[in-house]
Structure 1
Amino acid sequence: MTDHHTNRRRILLAVGVAAVAAVADTAMAQSTEIRGTVDFEGGAKIPQGEIEIYSEDSALPNETRHPTAQTQVKSDGGAKTIAFSFSPPASVGPLQIIARLEREDGWLLARGSAISKTGSPVSITLNTVMY
């Protein structure tokens, strides 16, 4: 009877270890980066300039939001879509991902944003800024 209980414990321990390993593999397989693409309104080529892409915690009031993580990518004026990725900050709420296209002289040309959903790529369309 002791052998039966010992074997049962070994089986339960093995199942538990396998379950923990499966969860760890799944967590490691999921990317911790925010990934996505930027395109331009109407499917046009993205104008030449620097695209600053950053996140803000959308759970915070607008007046207290500030960029929490960011990256920059260049547009040579020939691409219709540009990919990006960056590491997200620790956040309690969903993140708003904002993209700003500026000319070399700092003039804002276009802006767009999207809400990031965990594990899903973000798609941002830049819209021309009117002055």
Structure 2
Amino acid sequence: MDSTATAPARLKSLAARRLGLAVAAVAMGAAATLVAAPSASAVGTSACNAGGAIGNWKTTVGNLNLRNGPGTNYYSKGQLTKGTVINMKCTWLRKDGQDYWYYGQVRTGAHKGVWGWISWKYAAVA
């Protein structure tokens, strides 16, 4: 059998394998980018746009997420128990006026000293 007759077939096969590897590498890179994409960045007082909710407040429910920004799209720093006291510094108000988030420092419980955001729906004056 003449090896020169099969050389073009081998070149095509090699080119196809290289193309397949390149496509796989690009796909894996895109997948890694998607997996590594960070969640919403932490937001402090820079997000505050409304007055009110200053001073000590307490949570009215248990398992309340202390978030790193004003909204459920921000990650939870941990869960607060019912009655946890938070010293609120400022408020974020959605433009349509239908949602408030309070920013402050936890004063009691397992997350004492941690700064974060809670929804107005689950807070009352302490």
TM-score range, shorter chain: 0.3 to 0.5
Which structure is higher in RCO with an 8 Å CA cutoff and minimum separation 6?
1
Higher share of residues assigned strand: 1
Give the TM-score taking structure 1 as reference length: 0.38
Higher share of residues assigned helix: 2
Higher-Rg member (1/2):
2
